[in-house]
Amino acid sequence: MEYKHIYNGGGVYLKDQEVRMGTVIRDDRPERGILVGVEISQGKIIDGMSESERSIEELEELAKTAGVEVIGKMLQKKQSFDPATYIGRGKLDELKEMCSSVEANLVIFDNELTGAQMRNIENKLEVKVVDRTMLILDIFAQRAQSSEGKLQVELAQLKYRLPRLIGLGTELSRLGGGIGTRGPGEAKLEMDRRHIRRRIKYLEDELKEVNKRRGIIRSGRRRNDLPIITLVGYTNAGKSSLMNCLCDSEVFVEDKLFATLDPTTRKMVLDEEQTILLVDTVGFVRKLPHELIKAFKSTLEEAVYADVLLHVVDASSEEYEEHIEVAERLLEGLGVFGKPMITVLNKIDLLPPGMRATLKGARKNVVEVSAKTGEGISKLTEKVLSIIKTSEVDMDLLIPFDKGNIVSFVHENASILNEEYVPEGVIIKARIPKNKVASLSEYETSV
């Protein structure tokens, strides 16, 4: 058996097909997909690849994660997207021939498609069509383990599909499995708009209750006097591996995108006096669907309530600077970019000898580590400990009994070291974040 890359011209190529006497021999698999993208501008060139080329390479990783066998790619250079067919009618004819020649039963587009575009493309190709957002939602549907995660994924899928019912009419009534049909299930996908809206309302109400319970859990963490350190970063940067290394735990790890979906919390001992809670979160990705960001708001809020963020970066990736920019934009959108943050350059064991990752711009706290070998881990823990100690101040407060709201504020925002009731009020010795000190200064006492 001989395997080779077959280039088809015009930005199209097929790969890893078995070739015998010049004939392509195909094997039947559940989902054989072709990836399609449009390049409006080259953008930043990294490792000889344009932004669109790198995006479609990432789309291939996403497709593989979803269980698709990628058998071809098409990248078209255009000045603008075609409003009716995304790639234009001539290229659509070429794509139809390509699907027929390699027996593809799935086409994945690298951008969001409108309902009309999806309908027009499916009518022409006569195969299943999904876009990048649907693919990511499908991966999340496969990965969700907790009841909260499943609710969030279903909500995101239904909100995305609702305005696209015109284009998904045949898909919604189609039975069977595969990309775009997981998650809510066949019966829910056949609902009309009114039933879908009713289901969306139900899911939103359920998630509000989940948010309340998550808030109670966070309050409990505060009462336990444990600082919260949250792992954030691009998907597959090694956040879960780093958590296992730091906490000597066995969190699920897999070399795939979005291996971790539900947040995971573990205790970590920094030194004899300081224990923290380390929280792992869902990874970021370029073109992360807006529906997912909204649906997973409660999960991503783990970063909002963190005392310190560990921004984990795959230093071995050629695109690590771009991954940093994507993550920082999303963190800024969540309103947490001003928090104390350590940039953790992970996977340095994969770099060539003598080579180090360099970062553009001024970043105060940067640590190079390898979660696999343990290199640099001690420096990371020292840096975390240093930030925790310098970002808090011990204060003695005397709060009158008629200022119960201030007592509640201290309990919610500080670590309580000691509490005592005296005739004048409540004396609280607390470890308080520096940004809260000014609001409590009038209650400071030397007692």
pLDDT in tens, 129-157: 999 988 988 888 887 777 777 888 888 88
**Rounded-to-integer distance, Cα 160 and Cα 17, Å:** 35
**Rounded-to-integer distance, Cα 174 and Cα 284, Å:** 31
pLDDT tens, position by position, 42-55: 778 887 888 899 99
According to the model, what pLDDT value does residue 425 have? 92
According to the model, what pLDDT value does residue 378 have? 93
Residue 408 sits in a domain whose CATH number is: 3.30.70.240
Backbone angles phi, psi at 267, to 5 degrees: -80, 145
Same domain (yes/no): 218, 230: no
Residue 130 sits in a domain whose CATH number is: 3.40.50.11060
* Mode of pairing for the β-strands spanning 366-368 and 32-39: unpaired
Point out the domain boundary residue: 345, 361, 390. Answer: 390
Structure tokens at 57: 């390479």
The per-residue DSSP string of 209-236 comes to: HHHHHHHHHHHHHHHTT--EEEEEEBTT
Same domain (yes/no): 330, 408: no
Point out the domain boundary residue: 222, 245, 263. Answer: 222
Structure tokens at 373: 């070998």
Predicted TM-score of the model (pTM): 0.69
Other C-beta atoms lying within 10 Å of the C-beta of residue 176: 8
Same domain (yes/no): 338, 290: yes
Look at residues 89, 111, 94, 122 and name the one whose alpha carbon lies nearest to residue 38.
111
- Residue 374, domain extent: 225-390
Residue 268 CA neighbour count, 13 Å, CB half:
28
Bridge partners, residue 137, by sequence: none
User: Measured between alpha carbons, how far apart are the two ends of the chain, in Å?
Assistant: 84
Displacement of CA 270 from its chain's centroid (Å): 27
Same domain (yes/no): 269, 123: no
Q: What is the number of structural domains in the chain?
A: 3
**17 within 8 A of 11, measured Cβ to Cβ:** no
Same domain (yes/no): 82, 164: yes
Residue 290 sits in a domain whose CATH number is: 3.40.50.300
Tell me which H or E stretch contains 346.
strand 341-346
According to the model, what pLDDT value does residue 447 have? 65
Rg (CA), the chain: 26
3-state secondary structure of 189: helix
According to the model, what pLDDT value does residue 109 have? 95
Point out the domain boundary residue: 163, 197, 222. Answer: 222
**Rounded-to-integer distance, Cα 199 and Cα 212, Å:** 20
Residue whose pair of structure tokens reads 């080779």 in the numeric block: 4
Same domain (yes/no): 402, 376: no
According to the model, what pLDDT value does residue 177 have? 54
Close Cβ partners of 133 (under 8 Å, ≥ 6 residues apart): 112, 160, 287, 289, 291
Other C-beta atoms lying within 10 Å of the C-beta of residue 111: 17
Same domain (yes/no): 401, 419: yes
Same domain (yes/no): 275, 212: no
Same domain (yes/no): 362, 319: yes
Same domain (yes/no): 274, 343: yes
Q: What is the largest CA-CA distance in the chain?
A: 96
Backbone angles phi, psi at 254, to 5 degrees: -150, 145
Structure tokens at 244: 């296992």
pLDDT tens, position by position, 272-316: 778 888 888 877 887 777 666 766 665 666 677 788 899 999 998
**Rounded-to-integer distance, Cα 51 and Cα 250, Å:** 36
Same domain (yes/no): 300, 319: yes
**311 within 8 A of 233, measured Cβ to Cβ:** yes
**Rounded-to-integer distance, Cα 412 and Cα 220, Å:** 9
According to the model, what pLDDT value does residue 224 have? 56
Same domain (yes/no): 46, 168: yes
According to the model, what pLDDT value does residue 285 have? 81
Other C-beta atoms lying within 10 Å of the C-beta of residue 10: 12
**Rounded-to-integer distance, Cα 227 and Cα 311, Å:** 17
User: Could you say which residues of the chain have pLDDT below 70?
Assistant: 1-30, 165-192, 215, 217-225, 251-263, 290-292, 294-302, 337, 360-362, 435, 447
Question: Would the CA dihedral through 12, 15, 20, 24 be positive or negative?
Answer: negative
**Torsion angle (degrees, nearest 10) of CA 178, 182, 186, 189:** -110
